[in-house]
């Protein structure tokens, strides 16, 4: 199958960059509900066919299935094209003198849009920022991990991180290099992500269920290859000028 990726100034079609992390990511606030993308565990949506509207912030989500394949057991995989109308990432920037800076609100095209502004084809991404990890689901929602299961816990859990937004995801470090992590889902499915260095983005390398069935994933900028032991599928990205 072939997906189109349209370039633009600033090259918004990009995956989230992995930024060098310290030994233990600090605690971080949840995503602001006013700018959330995708679906949340506690959100309310007006759904109809492929389109869904977040009733809290008005974000329109389109989910267009492209292909779906079953494997042994309950494990299956598929590829969908998704759109989020909430296309901008917001941040504050201080300019001027240290004692009297001017604060600007900065808008940038959202990370993870690899098929046009607001559009993405994804199997899920592990995002590493300077102070936290987050799992970005295929439909665009972001789920941040904390180094303690509950906010009032006293001792961080070394090498294990948890979401607190009702998704019950768990992130575990594999080894001590900081290059390999696994995201565990409530149904027993595990997604393993790997990066070549602390400054490179993570890539999904396999998906495995609790019975040992596995989907192997190879991702480059323009070609994804998915293999489940019975069949091999490819997703190709083609840049279109103009």
pLDDT of 87: 86
pLDDT of 91: 76
C-alpha distances out from residue 100 to 7, 15, 97, 104, Å:
38, 35, 5, 13
pLDDT of 124: 92
Residue 238, beta-bridge partner list = 4
pTM score:
0.75
DSSP string, 166-200: SS--EEEE-SSSSSEEEEE-TTS-EEEEE-SSTTS
pLDDT of 94: 79
Q: What does pLDDT average to in each consecutive run of 10 residues of the chain (242 residues)?
A: 42 29 42 67 61 79 86 82 86 76 83 88 90 89 87 78 91 91 95 93 94 92 90 86 67
pLDDT of 208: 94
- CA-CA distance, 165 to 237, in Å (whole number)? 33
pLDDT of 139: 86
pLDDT of 41: 56
pLDDT of 217: 95
Extents of the domains making up the chain:
2-236
pLDDT of 26: 38
């Amino acid at each position: 199958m072939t997906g189109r990726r349209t370039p633009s100034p600033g090259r918004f079609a990009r995956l989230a960059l992995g930024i060098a992390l310290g030994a233990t990511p600090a605690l971080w606030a949840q995503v602001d509900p006013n700018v959330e993308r995708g679906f949340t565990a506690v959100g309310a949506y007006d759904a109809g066919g492929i389109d869904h509207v977040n009733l809290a912030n008005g974000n329109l989500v389109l989910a267009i299935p492209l292909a779906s394949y079953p494997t042994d057991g309950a494990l299956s995989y598929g590829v969908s094209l998704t759109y989020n109308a909430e296309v901008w990432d917001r941040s504050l920037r201080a300019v001027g003198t240290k004692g009297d800076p001017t604060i600007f609100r900065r808008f940038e095209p959202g990370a993870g849009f690899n098929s046009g502004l607001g559009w993405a084809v994804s199997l899920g991404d592990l995002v590493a920022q300077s102070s936290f990890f987050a799992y970005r689901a295929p439909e665009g929602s972001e789920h941040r991990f904390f180094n303690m299961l509950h906010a009032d816990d006293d001792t961080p859990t070394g090498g294990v991180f948890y979401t607190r937004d009702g998704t019950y995801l768990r992130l575990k470090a594999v080894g001590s290099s900081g290059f390999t992590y696994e995201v565990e889902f409530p149904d027993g499915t595990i997604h393993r992500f790997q990066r070549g260095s602390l400054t490179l983005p993570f890539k999904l390398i396999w998906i495995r269920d609790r019975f040992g069935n596995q989907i192997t994933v190879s991702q480059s900028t323009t070609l994804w290859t998915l293999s489940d032991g019975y069949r091999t599928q490819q997703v190709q990205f083609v840049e279109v000028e103009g």
